Amino acid sequence: QTKVAVENADLGALRYLTNAKVRGAAKQTEITANSGRFIMQGDTIDGTQTIISNQVPSNGGAGSNESTILYGNFADLIVGMWGGLDLQVNPYSLDKSGAVRVTTFQDVDTAVRHPESFAASKNVVTE
């Protein structure tokens, strides 16, 4: 939060984005010893909505038990989608089980409107 605030970018759709390992650790880690208050309460960290996705790396730091957490104004994240949704139906690959395999593809890219709107840590210890 501090890095984003120093850049005068702490406004808009502020959120944390991390994975389930960080959520688990944050819900078990007290803010201060014996306070009964935990880093993550409900779906917030420090009162800020926190989004959980296991697409966020859980082995991004120096050790395999280090996860990534992002913070920023997600209104400054641009998501571009083009082309239609490609749908492939394959009735043959699972024929022995009587099932049909359906695969979808979508072309998507992302960009950041203002880089100062985001901060990341790749070394959150979760175990």
Domain that holds residue 21: 2-125
Identity at 46, one-letter amino acid code: D
- Maximum C-alpha span of the chain: 60
Average pLDDT over residues 71-95: 95
In the prediction, which pLDDT does 64 show?
Answer: 74
Alpha helix ranges (H) inside 7-116? 20-26
The residues, any chain, with a CB within 8 Å of residue 42's CB and separated by 6 or more, are none
pLDDT in tens, 25-74: 999 999 999 998 999 999 999 999 999 999 999 886 666 788 999 999 99
* Percent of the chain predicted with pLDDT > 70: 97
What count of other Cβ atoms lies within 10 Å of the Cβ of residue 96? 6
In the prediction, which pLDDT does 63 show?
Answer: 62
Number of domains into which the chain is organized: 1
